Amino acid sequence: MSEIFKGIDKIRYEGPQSKNPFAFKFFDAEKIVLGKPMKEHLPFAMAWWHNLGAAGTDMFGRDTADKSFGAPKGTMEHAKAKVDAGFEFMQKLGIEYFCFHDVDLVPEADDMNVTNARLNEISDYILLKMKETGIKCLWGTANMFSNPRYMNGAGSTDSAEVYCFAAAQIKKALDLTVKFGGRGYVFWGGREGYETLLNTDMKFEQENIARLMRMAVDYGRKIGFTGDFYIEPKPKEPMKHQYDFDAATAIGFLRQYGLDKDFKMNIEANHATLAGHTFEHELRVSAINGMLGSIDANQGDMLLGWDTDEFPFNVYDATLCMYEVLKAGGLTGGFNFDAKNRRPSNTYQDMFEGFILGMDTFALGLMKAAALIEDGRLDAFVKEKYSGFDSPIGKKITSGGATLEELAAYAAELKDAEPPHSGKQERLEAILNSILFG
């Protein structure tokens, strides 16, 4: 097999002063941060669909990039060329994981049995490459949103037959995930939502989605899948309203249907902002509920209202993300770059530079978040902020032993409460800046 990305060698760490576009400035895999090498804090993954598939087609124009990798598109030869390209790419960047949808791997046939036979063939080939290189699978998923049969939903469809096809795809994608030893299995419900309530039985649809997830858990556990199932929340796009709106909504859904022991969240930065939240908000909500699983590391554009899937370069966001991750004790999953080059960035070099940018941004975020924790001023402020609850009356409240009557009597005795404490937001933001740029 010949080299595909000719002229690009293994990407190495050269340090912040380097002007070499094909070197890491901040990601230094073996560098120890808070007692662990960077690469263990940051298990990066390549998204098969964007990196090996997306070639620039948008609503207004065709491909701008050549992702044929020397083979005609829509053939098994091309599917194999993508495997070769993907593994060469990951090896050159030192990326240890990949994520995939079933239909990212092979061209989908009209007959599902043919698609499945193709999946068997390609997964044998991928497995070989995995053994050869030591590269692992972060998570797998089934694409239940592109095929027109899912226009009314997959788990939320109005057709029992379509529902069976969704089940069949999940079954196969789980087989593949287990075959690859994947750490997780993702549900992203792109078509699980509605356009108008006038034609929608929301309760019926949500119950059916839960049944499908339950069947997936039962089957997965039966075939030896020990990893986590993930919901990847997103409020909208392609549907006007998607049921897994945000982490809080998805967690409530999982608890309602008894799925919370098997599922965690896969939080995507750009989905958080579409939901009107910050990335760190979604991470905190997941973490305090014990459900922070994995991350789709990308970045949106606040001037645009859709999922632009950009490579992350915003160091503030990456720092605040890594602050949440470190405080939560790390991820059980990893950092999947669910990101693609901008349409005019259409060369092989751009593919590498996108990942270098993203990996360096998260490496910076990790180091800055570690510095914030070591500095301790933010933690100390938050601790002090609630210290009024260390008083006898405060302890009575937090231990759950207080009654309304008692507290009302206490307030009546005081006549007036102490003056409210300053939130000191500006001081804390200044600390953040001094750690980032000091």
Which token pair is 223? Answer: 């075939």
> Positive or negative, the Cα torsion across 107, 113, 116, 122?
negative
What count of other Cβ atoms lies within 10 Å of the Cβ of residue 422? Answer: 9
Q: Are 274 and 237 in contact (CB under 8 A)?
A: yes
CB of 431 to ligand XLS, least distance (A): 33
Site size toward Ni ion, by CB under 5 A: 4
Which SS3 state, helix, strand or coil, does residue 245 take? coil
**Residue nearest to ligand XLS as judged by C-beta position:** 188
Cβ neighbours of residue 167 closer than 8 Å, sequence gap 6 or more? 212, 215
Minimum CB distance to ligand XLS smaller for 45 or for 432: 45
Q: For ligand XLS, which residue of 80, 234, 277, 368 counts as binding (CB under 6 A)? A: 234
What's the CA gap between 218 and 299, in Å, rounded?
34
104 near ligand XLS (CB under 6 A): no
Minimum CB distance to ligand XLS smaller for 24 or for 230: 230
Catalytic residue from among 101, 271, 277, 281: 101
Which token pair is 362? Answer: 């998260």
Minimum CB distance to ligand XLS smaller for 145 or for 219: 145
88 near ligand XLS (CB under 6 A): no
Tell me if residue 104 is catalytic. yes
CB of 361 to Ni ion, least distance (A): 17
Minimum CB distance to Ni ion smaller for 80 or for 340: 340
How many degrees, rounded to 5, is the angle at CA 158 between CA 153 and CA 161? 90
310 near ligand XLS (CB under 6 A): no
Only one residue has tokens 């989605």, namely 209
* Nearest alpha-carbon partner for 309 in 361, 278, 274, 281: 274
Tell me if residue 101 is catalytic. yes
Site for ligand XLS in 242-301 (CB under 6 A): 268, 296
Site for ligand XLS in 108-167 (CB under 6 A): 141
Site for Ni ion in 328-367 (CB under 5 A): 338
Q: Are 287 and 330 in contact (CB under 8 A)?
A: no
Specify the pairing of strand 32-33 against strand 36-37.
Answer: antiparallel
Q: For ligand XLS, which residue of 188, 194, 229, 245 counts as binding (CB under 6 A)? A: 188
* Nearest alpha-carbon partner for 318 in 290, 289, 284, 359: 359
Which of 34-42, 105-113, 131-139, 290-298 is the region at the interface with Ni ion (rule: CB under 5 A)? 290-298
Q: What is the DSSP letter of 145?
A: S
- Pick one of ligand XLS, Ni ion, none as the site partner of residue 205 (Cβ within 5 to 8 A by kind): none
228 near ligand XLS (CB under 6 A): no
Q: What is the DSSP letter of 150?
A: G
Site for ligand XLS in 398-427 (CB under 6 A): none
Residues forming the site for ligand XLS (CB under 6 A): 101, 141, 186, 188, 232, 234, 268, 296, 307, 338
Q: Could you give the residue numbers annotated as active site? A: 101, 104
Residues forming the site for Ni ion (CB under 5 A): 268, 296, 307, 338
